[in-house]
Amino acid sequence: MAPVYSIVVPLYNEEEVIAEAYRRLTAVMEQADGAYELILVDDGSRDKTKAMAREICERDNRVRLLSFSRNFGHQTAITAGMERARGQAIVVIDADMQDPPEVVLQMIAKWKEGYGVVYGQRTQRKGETAFKKMTASVFYRFLRHMTDVDIPVDTGDFRLISREVRDVLVSLPERNRYVRGLVSWVGFQQAAVPYTREERFAGVSKYPLRKMLRFAGDAVVSFSTKPLKWPRMLGILTAVSGVGYLIALLIRALAVGVDQGEIKLMLGVLLFVLGIFMLALGFVASYISRIYDEARGRPLYIIEEETPRDN
């Protein structure tokens, strides 16, 4: 019989937390009013995560394992888990227990009230570096300013979605998936459950700066075309001021002759303009590289192992 709830847990090198995550999630979900399945998505871990997940699977038939052939990224892991989910309500939760599993029960209560999306909203973040908190806060607000989609601030991927919403989400073909943005984009009735983001149970963040930047880039490129319009504005600005400057120079040269100092100044102006030009090219490149990525149409992920192999 299909479960009522599906819990999707992405895992990347989480050997230190997987046992605890399993223990806590099981304790919470056994209190829920319906059957559940736990979908562990191993995102190409290189430590013992996969072996440990396999062991849990063999012991507990409510648990399923999906293992990628390499690291495809957090958002892809979440997507794969959603695709496999059979429940009527699907919850995505990180393995490191920063998002307390107990909150899931509150999310379920909201879902029963008729909300299609119930997202966890962080009122506080514990045990994260000031840098992480600051960049996250600035980023969420910047993104909000950039896009037309109403993406709630301070909200990660810890959320519950209904079967209906899940069906829409998995049908979206895009590859550069900023899942939390897509969830906002699909609409439906959405509710927030506030919670305090705890410290990681063990281990370190699997989001180095490089991944964070890529993630932020995906978010902006998937939900806004504003950066594509900036070069035009910058172009108008620099062109107008350039023409003004040239006219001034010409008048001066006619009146008092050419001044050597101004040639040096010109070099400065030239470098500045070239810089802006390159920057604009960079913005455009961000979009083109993602278009290229979409056009190649390679699969989103490759599965190496799936237990059990039933659907």
Q: Please identify which residue in 94, 117, 140, 223 interacts with ligand UDP, judged by CB under 6 A.
A: 94
CA distance 44 to 22: 19
| 79 counts as binding ligand UDP under rule CB under 6 A | no
Owner of token pair 């006619």: 254
| 15 counts as binding ligand UDP under rule CB under 6 A | no
Q: Please identify which residue in 6, 71, 176, 190 interacts with ligand UDP, judged by CB under 6 A.
A: 71
Q: Please identify which residue in 31, 205, 225, 241 interacts with ligand UDP, judged by CB under 6 A.
A: 205
Q: Closest CB to ligand UDP among 15 and 116? A: 15
CB 189 within 8 A of CB 115: yes
Tokens at residue 157, please?
């991927």
From the list 109-117, 186-194, 199-207, 217-225, the region that binds ligand UDP by CB under 6 A is 199-207
| 37 counts as binding ligand UDP under rule CB under 6 A | no
User: Can you spell out the DSSP letters for 210-267?
Assistant: HHHHHHHHHHHHHH--HHHHHHHHHHHHHHHHHHHHHHHHHHHHHHH---HHHHHHHH
Contacts of 166 (CB under 8 A, 6+ apart): 82, 85, 90
CA distance 157 to 184: 11
Smallest distance from ligand UDP to CB 180, Å = 12
Q: Please identify which residue in 11, 53, 179, 193 interacts with ligand UDP, judged by CB under 6 A.
A: 11
Residue 77's binding partner among Mg ion, ligand UDP, none (Cβ under 5 to 8 angstroms by kind) is: ligand UDP
Q: Closest CB to Mg ion among 37 and 94? A: 94
| 110 counts as binding ligand UDP under rule CB under 6 A | no
| 98 counts as binding Mg ion under rule CB under 5 A | yes
CA distance 124 to 149: 24
Q: Total residues contacting ligand UDP (rule CB under 6 A)?
A: 16
| 218 counts as binding Mg ion under rule CB under 5 A | no
CA distance 179 to 294: 16
From the list 1-9, 92-100, 223-231, 278-286, the region that binds Mg ion by CB under 5 A is 92-100
Helical H runs in 85-197? 103-112, 130-146, 163-171, 179-186
Beta bridge partners of 197: 125
Q: Closest CB to Mg ion among 15 and 94? A: 94
Q: Please identify which residue in 56, 96, 116, 158 interacts with ligand UDP, judged by CB under 6 A.
A: 96
Residue 72, CB half-sphere, CA atoms under 13 Å: how many? Answer: 25
Angle at 14 between CA 18 and CA 73, to 5 degrees: 125
Tell me which residues touch ligand UDP (CB under 6 A): 10-12, 14, 43, 71, 73-74, 77, 94-96, 98, 205-207
Tell me which residues touch Mg ion (CB under 5 A): 94, 96, 98
